[in-house]
Structures are given as structure tokens and as C-alpha cells.
Amino acid sequence: MAAASANPTVLVVDFGAQYGQLIARRVRDLGVYSEIIPCDMTAAEVGALDPAAIILSGGPASVYAEDAPSLDPGVLELGVPVLGFCYGQQAMAVALGGEVAHTDKGEYGPAPLALTSEGGASALFAGMPAEQTVWMSHRDAVSRVPEGFVVTSRTDVCPVASMECPERRLYATQFHPEVRHTPFGDEMLANFLFDVCGLERTWTMDSIIQDSVAAIREQVGESRVILGLSGGVDSSVVAALCARAIGRQLTCVFVNHGLLRKGEPEEVEEVFTRQFDVDFVHVHAEDRYAALLAGVTDPEEKRHIIGSQFWKEFFAVAEELAEDGRPVQFLAQGTIYPDIIESGARKTGGKASTIKSHHNLIPFPEGVSFELIEPLDHFFKDEVRALGTALGLPDYIVQRQPFPGPGLAIRIIGEVTLAKLALLKDADAIVREELDAYNQAAWEEDGERPVWQYFAVLPDVRSVGVMGDERTYGYPVILRAVESSDAMTADWAKLPYELLTKISTRITSEVEGINRVVYDITSKPPATIEWE
Ligand code: XMP
């Protein structure tokens, strides 16, 4: 992706899932562009990417384990500054003839670190106190540093907590500067990037927008682009970016399946017809979806119907657009960097090409083909949100929580009917209103939004209640509110009783037909976040 190539790049060699992402994010937060590469790339392949610096991540393996990932020693001979963390330090030591030993005692959690003065003052620790706390997580440790290296810090348990060979600009730590539990971690990274490597803060929102706009213009030329706008964060940001780059060459197709949350279709239409100068097509497919979903109760069947109908609606618009003799050549998508990393894609040399497997999932009809443009394919989610804000998208779009493509259809257990949809939309709107306020208050107080995702679910049962003097026989609503960081695991949110009471009271009194509210107190696993 050309947007990235204008910037000096720090490559993070990933020795274990997650570590690489965290490091790349920290580097980017410091204003330097960073990408993750797999650890089995050869020195020649790494060199071809022309990195400004290399960081070796931690990893769960022991360097002496049978299939432990190893580092091509040539990577350390490229003349590029290298910084290794944890497993990265051990891999560096082994690659250069040092030794790593199993220690009797592991070291996990915070550890007091003392700087040594063996090699004079280390550039990595410049401006820091002689003693500080760092985060450790290891059993093995370097027992003999390679020739030419000096030990720059130690802990009670770990004799080589960091080492370096400043002449060759090779640095390493046994601890993890990338985690927040190492209070001076960011300073260490900054010392490496700016003092050791001489880099500058070029990865700024302005440069990101400028580079992305230029890249889109170059790729698209005078051609026409179509985008499936769902109202979610990613597709909205792609739309805003393409609007800036190519204006009316872009057509945003918003397929309204009637399964969005209350108020959302109106919000999307408002933003993309008033605020951005793009061609916006609102496809009112609510009736067609309602007919297709009638009588369907199986969750997978619902998903399938909704997904395949989306593409039918979408291609129908593309065909209609082409009737004026200007066919649509490009399809824009909101693929983001973690999608690429998780699909196991890898760089193939040069900064411009990335292979993705998930493209094949789009069921293009016979004879239809588009070139893809994916302007967010190098951005993390929080960067996508920042980009959206910088491009002028309102907070209610940029801060939107994850919402499944099949929408409310998979939050209505059993058959989806218009009447049930109306009940769920109203109840869900109350849940969102109350929890938005709760999250916002927490954000203002301590900078965190404690509840990650929250919504209402309508089960396929009814129960007896009493209102006034009347017996009722209505639906319950299930409140789902979870804490999570990546949706892979989640815990139910320990909401204050008063808030639960307020939500319950509001729903039962404001939504006619709902006479009971229950709270889902199951974590993931064993449950999932959604009910279907
Ligand atoms: P589960 O229910 O598997 O959900 O714990 C994990 C996260 O993914 C979202 N989700 C979906 N997102 N299409 C999507 O785009 C889907 O079909 C879908 N199903 C679940 C869910 O909201 C949660 O954040």
C-alpha cells in the first residue's frame, strides 16, 4: 500500500501472536510508521523492505525448543539498528554466539531493575533513574552475552536484563518495554527511535491523510468506485477518505435491510448526503428482507440469506450505474490491518503488495469483476477512528461499537417479524442511551470506557406479568453488556444495581409488549457475545 511507503518504516519481527501488534502500535503512537513481518523471512527479504529499524518481538517459545522460531543472523548484519524484547533478546544472543540458559526460577510480573554502568551510559535508558520497575515474563534468560556486547541492566533474578552493542546499534531487553506495566517503556522506545536511529515523527494524522489520498488518486485515476456502506466505523471511514480523494467518482451504496438499530439509517444518510460530497444511494430493501426472512428460525440460515441478499442488492446498483456507459471499475472495502495479519497474509517484497485470502469470500456473480481498493489495510482500529475524526465524521459513527453484519436478525431469537423488530429497536435504544451515558461518565472521570459492547436481545418466549391491575403476557428482553478488548474473550459487565434498575424500569414502562428484563451474566467462553 503506497500510503505507507513514503514513511521510514520500523519492521517488527513477530515471534508470537499479539506481541508484534502491540509493539507496532506503540511505535506508531510515537509517530513512526511500523509494520509487522513474520519471523521466518530471510535477511534478504527483510533488507528488500528497506527498514529504518527492526524490533524483535517477544514470543512464547524457548529458543532451544525443537521448532522454536529462529532469527536469520543476517538480519543483524544489515546495518539497520535492531532492538529485541524478551524472546527477541534471546534470539539475538543466540544468533550472535551468546548463550541462553533455563533458569530455576521464572520471573513474572513487575521486577525492580538496576542499571549497570559497564559500557557507560546506555542511550536506551537516557534520562531515566538508575532504578525502575519493569515487566518481566520469562523462564529462560541470556547467560552469556555475545562478543562485543555489554550488560546494561539486571534484576535480582536476571543477570542480563538488557544488553547492547552500541557500535553496531544492536540493543535488547529481557523485559517488555511495550507493555504499560513498564512505566518508562515508551521513553525507551523513543530513545531507540529518535536518538539511536535518528528517526523523526513523520507518521502523523496529516501525513496519513495526505499519503492515503494520494495513493487512492493514483490507484483509481479517473475511474469509478463503488462502496458498500454499512454505517459501521470502517466502511464510513473509507467513504470519508475516498470522498476527500475522488469525490463524486465514488458511489456509496447503503443497503438498508431494516435490521439496523433505531436511528442508524437516518444518521448514515444525513452524514453522507449533507456532509460529504459523494454519490449516495439508499437502497430500501426492508420489505424484500422481511419477505426472505419470514418463517426462518435457524441462525445460520438467517446469516446466509442476509449476506447473499446484500450482494444481490449491491450488484443491482452497480449494474444500474453502468447503464450510463461508465462502468464501475473499483470496489472499495474497509479491510483493516488486523484482518490482514489474522488472515496470515504476508509481505511479498516491496512495500506495495499484500496478499489476502478473505477476498474470495465475496460471491461475485458471473462476469462481474472489480479491482479492490482497501485504503485502511495498514491501520489499526484506533487509527481508523482517529482518521475518521480527522476527516470530520461525527463521534456517533467513529465511536460506534461492533455490530454484526446480519444486524438485529441475530438478536431476535427465532423468527424475525416486523413487530419483534420494533420491540427490539425500542428496547435496544434505551439500553444504548443508558450505557452510553454510563461509559461517557467513566470516560470523563478516568479516561476509560468500561463497557465494551452492549445491546438488547429478544428471545422467543413470553412470560406472565402484571401492570396496574392487568395481567400481561409479554416478551422479556435480555440485556447483554460485556467487557472485552478484542471480542475473543469477554466478561459480563458488573453494572451498578441502580443502573440495572433504571434500564429495567425504563424498558418495561416505555416499550409496550415487554414486561420483563433479565441480565445475561455469562462470560465468553463458554457463551458468545451474541446470542445467535
Ligand atoms: P461472538 O458472538 O462470536 O461475537 O462472541 C464476537 C464479536 O463479533 C461480532 N459479530 C459479528 N460481526 N458479522 C460481524 O461483522 C457477524 O456475523 C458477527 N457475529 C458476531 C459481535 O457483535 C462481537 O463484537
401-427 confidence digits (pLDDT tens)? 999 999 999 999 999 999 999 999 999
Residue 528 Cβ contacting ligand 1 at under 6 Å: yes
Q: What residue type is 104 in one-letter code?
A: D
> Residues 267-287: pLDDT tens digits?
999 999 999 999 999 999 999
**Burial of residue 62, with CB atoms counted within 10 A of its CB: 0-12 exposed, 13-18 middle, 19 or more buried:** middle
pLDDT at 358: 40
* ω into 402 cis (within 30 of 0): no
The dihedrals phi and psi of 35, each to the nearest 5 degrees, come to -130, 155
Among the ranges given (72-81, 438-447, 501-510, 513-522), the one the predictor scored with the smallest mean pLDDT: 438-447
Contact 285, 313 (CB under 8 A): yes
Query: What pLDDT was estimated at residue 120?
Result: 80
Cell 471480542 sits at which residue? 487
Query: Residue 31: is its pLDDT beyond 60?
Result: yes
pLDDT level of residue 447 (50, 70, 90 thresholds): confident
Grid cell of 78 as nine digits? 544489515
| Residue 4 confidence (pLDDT) | 47
- State the pLDDT confidence band at 189, using cuts at 50, 70 and 90: very high
What local confidence, expressed as pLDDT, does residue 5 receive? 52
Q: Residue 162 in contact with residue 124, Cβ under 8 Å?
A: yes
User: Quick check: 352 pLDDT over 80?
Assistant: no
Q: Are 409 and 259 in contact (CB under 8 A)?
A: yes
CB of 530 closer than 6 angstroms to any ligand 1 atom: yes
Nearest-angstrom CA–CA distance, 431 and 436: 8
Greatest alpha-carbon span in the chain: 87
The set of residues, in sequence order, having a beta carbon less than 8 Å from that of 291 and lying 6+ positions away, is none
User: Which pLDDT does position 366 carry in this prediction?
Assistant: 76
Return the SS3 of 185: helix
How does residue 222 score in pLDDT terms, banded at 50, 70 and 90? very high
Whole-number pLDDT of residue 347: 39
User: Catalytic site residue 39?
Assistant: no
Residue 363 has a CB neighbour count (10 Å cut-off) of 12
Q: With H, G, I as helix, E, B as strand and everything else as coil, classify residue 337.
A: helix
329-345 pLDDT, tens digit each = 999 999 999 888 776 54
Q: Name the one residue in this structure whose C-alpha cell is 556486547.
A: 149
- Give the Å distance between the CA of 172 and the centre of ligand 1: 39
- Is the minimum distance from the CB of 232 to ligand 1 under 6 angstroms? no
Those residues whose C-beta lies under 8 Å from the C-beta of residue 43, and which sit 6 or more positions away, are 72, 73, 74, 75, 77, 78
Ligand 1: residue of 428, 530, 531 to mutate (most ligand atoms within 8 A of CB) is 530
3-state secondary structure of 291: helix
Q: Is 112 exposed, middle or buried (0-12, 13-18, 19+ CB in 10 A)?
A: exposed
- 407 CB under 6 A from ligand 1? no
Q: How far apart are CA 449 and CA 427, in angstroms?
A: 22
The C-alpha angle with vertex 383 and arms to 373 and 228, in degrees rounded to 5, equals 35
Nearest to 125 by CA among 136, 140, 114: 114
Which residue is listed with cell 413487530? 419
366 is catalytic: no
Asked if 244 contacts 411 with a C-beta cutoff of 8 angstroms, the reply is no
Out of 35, 39, 86, 158, pick the active-site residue. 86
d(CA 231, CA 267): 8
pLDDT of 2: 35
Least confident of 75-84, 101-110, 153-162, 318-327: 101-110
- 34: Cβ below 6 Å to ligand 1? no
For range 309-337, the mean pLDDT: 93
The CA R_g of the chain, rounded to the nearest whole Å, is 27
| Whole-number pLDDT of residue 349 | 33
Residue nearest to atom 10 of ligand 1 (CA): 404
Residues 81 and 163: their CA atoms lie apart, in Å, by: 14
Looking at ligand 1, which atom is closest to the CA of residue 527?
5
pLDDT above 90 (res 19) = no
Q: Ligand 1 mean position to 405 CA, how many Å?
A: 8
With a pLDDT cut of 90, the percent of the chain lying above it is 82
Mean pLDDT of the 349-372 span: 55
Q: Which amino acid is at 89?
A: Q
Cβ 405 under 6 angstroms from ligand 1: yes
Identity (one letter) of the amino acid at 522?
Answer: T
H or E stretch covering 173: strand 170-173
Of residues 7, 11, 27, the one with CA closest to residue 380: 27
Residue whose CB lies within 8 A of the most ligand 1 atoms, among 478, 529, 531, 532, for a mutation test: 529
Q: Rounded CA gap, 234 and 308, in Å?
A: 20
- Indicate which atom in ligand 1 lies nearest the CA of residue 403: 22
DSSP secondary structure code for residue 447 in this structure: S
Whole-angstrom CA distances from 377 to 338, 354, 529 are: 8, 9, 26
> In the annotation, is 176 catalytic?
yes
* Measured CA distances, 378 to 47, 98, 398, 456 (Å): 20, 36, 18, 33
What one-letter code names the amino acid at 261? Answer: R
* Arithmetic mean of pLDDT over the chain: 92
In our burial notation (b when 16+ CB lie closer than 10 A, e otherwise), range 435-470 reads bbebbeeeeeeeeebbbbbbbbbbbeeeeeeeeeee
Residue 375 CA to ligand 1 centre (angstroms) = 23
Lowest mean pLDDT of 188-192, 323-327, 475-479, name the range.
323-327
Which atom of ligand 1 lies at the shortest distance from residue 232's CA?
Answer: 15
Contacts of residue 514, defined as CB under 8 A and 6 or more positions apart, other chains included, come to 423, 427, 474, 475, 476, 477, 507, 508
CB of 524 within 6 A of ligand 1: the answer is yes
At residue 346, the pLDDT reads: 44
